[in-house]
Amino acid sequence: MKKYTTVLLLVTAITAHAQTTHELTNIGNAFDPPLINMIAGDSIHLVLSDPHTCTQVDETTWMNNGNTPNGGFNYPAGEHTFALDVPGTYYYVCTPHANMGMKGKIIVAINMDVQEQVADVLPRLFPSPASQQVTLTGLSTGSSVEVLDLKGQVVLRPTTANSTLDVSGLEVGTYIVLVRDQQGAALLNERLVISR
């Protein structure tokens, strides 16, 4: 009976992860957050004030602060929820404000199958908010850890995947902690708040 309970709990945890919804909004003429790391099948809950849009563009258009749609998603102001099932990088802009740099990026990682996830314990991060250090549990051999700011820039990349991460050098603010396995699949994508 205990064996079946453990498998059921793991399957329940995997199912819950597959249904993660990431919040995306705007603060003035900026997307918040400007970078979302997610797993294929996760959803985006988008809330935009008028006159902003969330319009998918290609990388070249995005780099040049252009606003020509590439035929992907294109949402006007208001509230929308959508899922991205295909791994890759999605670039988007606000059509009226692209030339002012109102743009963002969504990175969609491959969703691991059930056997791989059951075999490994999923990583956890705590506490958040934190001031000096955070603890990462469930790291497997070969895992890589990155801490990104909300612009998507790597601000901390420990050389070894230890269970304790020194964050005392980070400024107060919000960051994303991304843990990947040896093949590059995202195992953890969690917001970290630094406060002092």
Fold of 15-109: Immunoglobulin-like (2.60.40)
Q: Give the length of the chain.
A: 196
- pLDDT band, residue 162 (cuts 50/70/90): low
CA distances from residue 173 to 29, 131, 149, 153, 196 in whole angstroms, order as listed: 19, 10, 9, 14, 10
> Tens of pLDDT along 112-140?
544 444 444 677 888 989 999 998 887 77
List the CATH code of the domain at 120-194.
Answer: 2.60.40.10
Dihedral sign of CA atoms 84, 85, 90, 96 in order: negative
Query: For position 139, what pLDDT does the model report?
Result: 78
**Cβ contact 121:101 at 8 Å:** no
Cβ-proximal residues to 67 (8 Å cutoff; 6+ apart), any chain: 55, 57, 61, 93, 94, 95, 96, 98, 99
Cis omega (within 30 of 0) on the bond before 96? no
User: Hey, where are the domains in the chain?
Assistant: 15-109, 120-194
The whole-angstrom separation of Cα 49 and Cα 167 is: 34
Is there a shared CATH topology between the 15-109 domain and the 120-194 domain? yes
> Tens of pLDDT along 4-52?
443 344 344 444 444 689 999 999 999 999 999 888 889 999 999 999 9
Instruction: Name the 3-class secondary structure at 82.
Output: strand
> Tens of pLDDT along 170-185?
999 999 888 888 777 7
Predicted TM-score (pTM) of this structure? 0.53
Portion of the chain with pLDDT greater than 70, in percent: 83
